[in-house]
Amino acid sequence: MLKQLECSRAIAETIARCRPQVVCAYPITPQTHIVEALSELVRDGSLSPCEYINVESETSALSVALGASATGARAYTATASQGALHMAEVIYNVAGLGLPVVMTLGNRAVGAPINIWNDHSDAMALKDAGWIQLFARDAQESLDLHVLAFRLAEELSVPVMVCVDGFVLTHSVEPLDVPSQEAVDRFLPPYQPVQVLDPADPVSIGAMVGPEAFTEVRYLAHHKQLQVLTRLPELAAELAQLIGRPSGALLHPYRLDGAETIVVAMGSVTGTIEVAIDELRAAGLAIGAVALCAFRPFPLAALAEALADARRVVVIERNLAPGLGGALASNVRMALRGRAIPVHTVIAGLGGRPVTRAALRPVFESAARDALDDLVFLDLDNAAIDRELARSGERRRSGPAAENLLRDARRPR
């Protein structure tokens, strides 16, 4: 049933219907509302049995989830940005041990400079840690993906990170349908661990592995991820039957019929891109879009197929890989190897800068004329950059760039 809800609240209610037995949390903006709401649901008995564990840091939060998962409990946590980096070592360990923890990442920029707003820097810093990474294109999908995530995680014994754009999605209030308890119960069977710390049948988990077997253990992690490429679409179809809407996929195509220019993006920018594409289609431009839901594993074959008729690709990239461009565009190029078509990287929406139709439309039009640069920074204030470069060229001790640019931005012109 549709209700007007804050997305974070609705995610918490969805998590509760997945019946986690252990939730451990350390608050960090912008995911805090999710774990706050979960703490209420545990306290008032709506989520039971479940142990809600307050911890003193993100490293502890995920360590508790790791331990809980190893004893056979369904475990959940959430984090963002610096919090994700704080727990980075444990993130690798959870994946390396093959423990099916589900974690929400309320996507936020990574400092310095400190910034609480949305981009994908945190997810991209952890893209190769061995977790499945699913990106929600809208608020509704950010609910449904969590249900899929528990099933995928537990079936394959691999952790899943559900990436939800901070503020843009987490703090949006809109009509949302929390999947019913009945649908979730039918979709998500009780967790059957493949490995479990059980005093009655003791094993050790976390062996030191030398060169004789390390590559094979790592290969198996890759093998698991590849299975997701088949299982995710199957499970998404099964879930769609139960909740009555399509949600979750390797990727979501949009108006690809005859599209010569195809935009590739992830997350909440999808809706704005679709509106821009509708406007450009109405003006006669042959343009479409692909929203990736699965970033890890990366759906090389599905994306290659979606882009088969493209003459050029524009990647809207909500992160910056300094010295290269963007992680998403690099991965998209992998799907296009052997094809001699331009793949433009558009760095957009860093640190919460809005990505608007007004900014996107000319970029898409320019790409369609083959007049777009290879690497573009959307809405970059080039004059401010030039002034700072001039200042730093004038004298050695020009001071911190972040403070300089803030002062520059506040100066009336």
Beta bridge partners of 262: 288, 313
CB 351, CB 406: distance < 8 Å: no
Instruction: Show the binding pattern over residues 3-42: x = contacts other proteins (CB under 8 A), - = does not.
Output: -x-x-----------------------x------------
Window of 98-106, 207-215, 216-224, 265-273 that interacts with other proteins by CB under 8 A: 265-273
Question: Based on CB atoms, which residue is closest to other proteins, 138 or 154?
Answer: 138
Question: Based on CB atoms, which residue is closest to other proteins, 268 or 331?
Answer: 268
Token pair for 337: 């190897």
Question: Based on CB atoms, which residue is closest to other proteins, 63 or 272?
Answer: 272
Q: How many CA atoms lie within 13 A of 389 on its CB side?
A: 6
- When asked if residue 364 is in the footprint of other proteins (CB under 8 A), the reply is no
Question: Based on CB atoms, which residue is closest to other proteins, 311 or 357?
Answer: 357
Q: Which amino acid is at 63?
A: S
Window of 296-304, 306-314, 349-357, 392-400 that interacts with other proteins by CB under 8 A: 349-357
| Cα–Cα nearest to 87, from 124, 113, 58 | 58
Q: How far is CA 20 from CA 17, 74, 91, 136, 161, in A?
A: 8, 5, 19, 21, 15
Residue numbers 161-180 binding other proteins by CB under 8 A: 167-168, 171-175
Residue numbers 73-102 binding other proteins by CB under 8 A: none
Token pair for 369: 């004329």
Residue numbers 184-223 binding other proteins by CB under 8 A: none
For 115, other C-beta atoms within 10 Å of its C-beta total 17
User: Distance (Å, rounded) from C-alpha 221 to C-alpha 225?
Assistant: 6
Considering the complex, what minimum distance in angstroms separates the CB of residue 73 from other proteins?
A: 34
β-pairing, 51-54 vs 102-107, is unpaired
Question: Based on CB atoms, which residue is closest to other proteins, 208 or 282?
Answer: 282
Q: How far is CA 75 from CA 94, 99, 171, 174, 191, in A?
A: 11, 9, 24, 28, 10
Name the packing angle between helices 382-394 and 401-410 (round to 10°). 130
Going 54 to 60 to 63 to 67, the CA torsion angle's sign is: negative
Question: Based on CB atoms, which residue is closest to other proteins, 275 or 406?
Answer: 275
- When asked if residue 269 is in the footprint of other proteins (CB under 8 A), the reply is yes
Question: Based on CB atoms, which residue is closest to other proteins, 69 or 172?
Answer: 172
- When asked if residue 283 is in the footprint of other proteins (CB under 8 A), the reply is no
Considering the complex, what minimum distance in angstroms separates the CB of residue 36 from other proteins?
A: 15
Identify the residue among 155, 333, 354, 392 touching other proteins (CB under 8 A). Answer: 354
Instruction: Show the binding pattern over residues 106-125: x = contacts other proteins (CB under 8 A), - = does not.
Output: ----------xx--------
Considering the complex, what minimum distance in angstroms separates the CB of residue 378 from other proteins?
A: 12
b/e string for 345-374 if b means 16 or more Cβ within 10 A?
Answer: bbbbbbbbbebeeebbbebbbebbeeebee
Question: Based on CB atoms, which residue is closest to other proteins, 9 or 146?
Answer: 9
Instruction: Show the binding pattern over residues 224-263: x = contacts other proteins (CB under 8 A), - = does not.
Output: ----------------------------------------
Q: Reduced to 3 states, what is the DSSP secondary structure of residue 290?
A: strand
DSSP 4-40: EEEHHHHHHHHHHHT--SEEEE---TTTHHHHHHHHH
List of residues contacting other proteins (CB under 8 A): 2, 4, 6, 30, 116-117, 138, 167-168, 171-175, 268-272, 274-275, 354-358
